[in-house]
Amino acid sequence: MKPLTNLRKEPDPAWPIDLILSIAIIAGTFVYIWCLALGAKWSAVFLVPPIILLWRVQRQTVFSLGLAFSEFRASFRRWRVLWVFVIVVFLVLQWRVLLQPRAIYSGFVYYGWCVAQQLLYQSVVYVVFRRAFRNRILAVCFAALVFAALHAPNPVLVCGCLLWGVVSSLLFDGCRSVLALALMQVFLSSTAMAITPYEIHRGFRIGPFYRSAPRARPVAMLRER
């Protein structure tokens, strides 16, 4: 798979197949969230074949997908200012969670989810849009809009994902590490949950789950605080 920096120099033989697959996967994800997730969570497996096919068309590798540990290590050098800011803010607002074994376990589980989310966002949405539009700013904006729309109608996630979609795409351009982006997303999500009321973020649920979530903080969550 060719580096993103060379996209403007020569056409990509994968286009427009990758764009068609990307749009199909995005549309399928919307259908799953709004129509199938409540009663048939297992139906998400139908998105796996087109994702794998897209990766084959793109000729993805461990490195190009952002899963190389070398890039994960490099991110702490290339993004050092951002890392310091994100971690300091997290520690100031959420240091108490580090004293709760259950919260730490949940954090590891959530990190795995963030890895999967960033892996799909970067490879299925941003990289494809970057190749299709041949314009970095346009691709970043459209990719971020898709990322935000997938988290509707949660106002906290829509706004947060719009901003994070832009930032993560630009960061991925400079350092291909889904592992690092996912870790940063864990810190940012925890911080966002700390500074916004439950009545608005509702446990970061999306789609019909957001609408059906209790509007007041559950008693169990109040006790944990």
**Residue 159 pLDDT:** 97
- Answer whether 27's CB lies under 8 Å from 124's CB: no
Q: CA-CA distance, 85 to 90, in Å (whole number)?
A: 9
What is the per-residue pLDDT across 109-121, written as a single tens digit (0 to 9) for each?
999 999 999 999 9
Mean pLDDT, to the nearest integer, of 204-215?
A: 89
Per-residue confidence (pLDDT) for residue 216, from 0 to 100? 73
Instruction: Say if residue 16 is preceded by a cis peptide, omega within 30 of 0.
Output: yes
Q: How far apart are CA 222 and CA 95, in angstroms?
A: 17
What pLDDT score was predicted for residue 140? 98
Residues 79-97: b if buried by 16+ CB within 10 A, e if exposed: beeebeebeebbeeebeeb
User: What is the spatial distance between Cα 83 and Cα 76, in angstroms, rounded to a whole number?
Assistant: 7
- Average pLDDT, stretch 126-136? 93
**168, 146 in Cβ contact below 8 A?**
no
- Across the range 194-210, mean pLDDT stands at 93
66: left (phi over 0), alpha (psi -120 to 50) or beta: left
Which percentage of the chain shows pLDDT scores above 90?
Answer: 82
For the segment 13-42, the average pLDDT, to the nearest whole number, is 91
In terms of Cβ atoms closer than 10 Å to its own Cβ (0-12, 13-18, 19+), residue 214 is: exposed
Other Cβ atoms less than 10 A from the Cβ of 33: the count is 18
pLDDT of residue 168 exceeding 70: yes
pLDDT band (50, 70, 90) for residue 224: very low
- State whether residue 137 is helix, strand or coil: helix
Are residues 33 and 150 in contact, defined by beta-carbon separation less than 8 angstroms? yes
Out of 5-14, 19-28, 158-167, which region has the weakest mean confidence (pLDDT)?
Answer: 5-14
pLDDT at 9: 47
pLDDT tens readout for residues 82-104:
999 999 999 999 999 888 999 99
pLDDT at residue 223, as a whole number:
46
Res 218: pLDDT: 66
Judge contact between 174 and 188, C-beta under 8 A: no
Q: What is the pLDDT of residue 12?
A: 63
What percent of the residues of the chain are helix, what percent strand, and what percent coil, each to the nearest 5? 80, 0, 20
The overall average pLDDT reported for the chain is 91
Query: In terms of residues, how long is the chain?
Result: 225
**pLDDT over 70 (residue 8):** no
Stated pTM of the model? 0.89
Say if residue 59 is exposed, middle or buried (CB neighbours under 10 Å; 0-12, 13-18, 19+): exposed
pLDDT for res 24: 97
Per-residue pLDDT of 62-87, as tens digits, reads: 999 999 999 999 999 999 999 999 99
Which pLDDT score is estimated for 11? Answer: 54
